[in-house]
Amino acid sequence: MSFSEVLAEALSAPGRQSIPFTDAAGDATRPLVLHTYRPASFTPDSPVVLVQHGMKRNGDDYRDFWIPAADRHGLLIVAPAFSDAAYPGAETYNNGHALAADGTVRPPAEWGYAVPERVFGWLRQAGVTRRTQAHFFGHSAGGQFGHRMASTQPLDVFAAIAVGNPGWYTLPTLDTPFPEGMGGIGLSEAELLRLLAYPLLILAGEQDIETSGPSLPAQPAATAQGPHRFARAANYLAAGQAEAARRGVACRWRLVKVPHIGHDGDAMSRVAASLWFDDAMPADAVLAAWGGVAGAL
């Protein structure tokens, strides 16, 4: 049975699924799992949301964070999981395994950032969706993954990309080596201009202000961007605007500051869903209630 047939069968009925996946067009030595949810109201013309987990590699939790929105709006949720065993450390997940251990650039087809587009292609080939574009949401380490994906990959397959609370950012400059900047991995001015022109949505929790901790990147390149994730988001937007101004082009990125919310993948998933599919930020009282509980990574 081909993988498209596996997908078609697994997603033929409503509910949760966990589907093993080998990216034969990329790095076939590192297996993934697609954690999916199909609501009863989903049709092949409904939106598809690709969801990228944080450092806990909990794609099943991130899929579940989106189930309320999926049920309301008929969304298909697909959360690719990059396990610690197959993708150890930030280098092979957050940083896309663009660089080998010796610092040389790996083949771009084998970068993790190419996986979401290929997964969506398999969904189309399986007939699960007739959509030509997907939504993409990543939080924390998944937000690092997501904005670096936007920095390095063709973007025409994405109807929207949102990243929530990344620990630090790859700055939009070719003068600084990856992952601090976009230099040294084969990118050009064309990719930089494409990134600046894309309406990237940056979600920053106003309470994501811890200045130390095991999940907060603390290397010099990260701390130079600000003391905490909330400040680093503003720094990234400012860097994009400065690079765009230097070129006389527009920076189409949008920074949305989210009141009451800290480093919480569940709450930020709900915020992204509301902005995309309800065309509104959740009410302040709702955000305050979400912010009053322990966050979910």
Judge whether residue 293 has pLDDT over 80.
no
Q: What is the number of H-type helices and E-type strands within the chain?
A: 11, 8
Omega of the bond prior to 179 within 30 degrees of 0, cis?
yes
**Each residue's pLDDT tens digit, 228-282:** 999 999 999 999 999 999 999 999 999 999 999 999 999 999 999 999 999 999 9
What are residue 19's DSSP bridge partners? 34
* Region 38-45 average pLDDT: 98
pLDDT at 1: 81
Encode 5-23: b = buried (16+ Cβ within 10 Å), e = exposed. ebbbebbeeeeebebebeb
pLDDT at 173: 98
Judge whether residue 135 has pLDDT over 80.
yes
**Each residue's pLDDT tens digit, 194-204:** 999 999 999 99
Alpha-carbon span 116 to 288, nearest angstrom = 33
Per the prediction, the chain carries an average pLDDT of 97
- DSSP for 189-207 reads HHHHHHHHHS--EEEEETT
- DSSP for 6-36 reads HHHHHTSSSEEEEEEE--TTS-TTS-EEEEE
Of 160, 152, 153, 144, nearest to 236 by C-alpha is 144
Domain spans of the chain? 3-291
* Region 207-214 average pLDDT: 94
Choose which CATH entry (3.40.50.1820, 3.40.50.970, 3.20.20.150, 3.90.420.10) describes domain 3-291.
3.40.50.1820
Judge whether residue 211 has pLDDT over 90.
yes
Query: Which amino acid is present at 3?
Result: F
Alpha-carbon span 123 to 21, nearest angstrom = 12
Judge whether residue 294 has pLDDT over 70.
no
Alpha-carbon span 12 to 57, nearest angstrom = 26
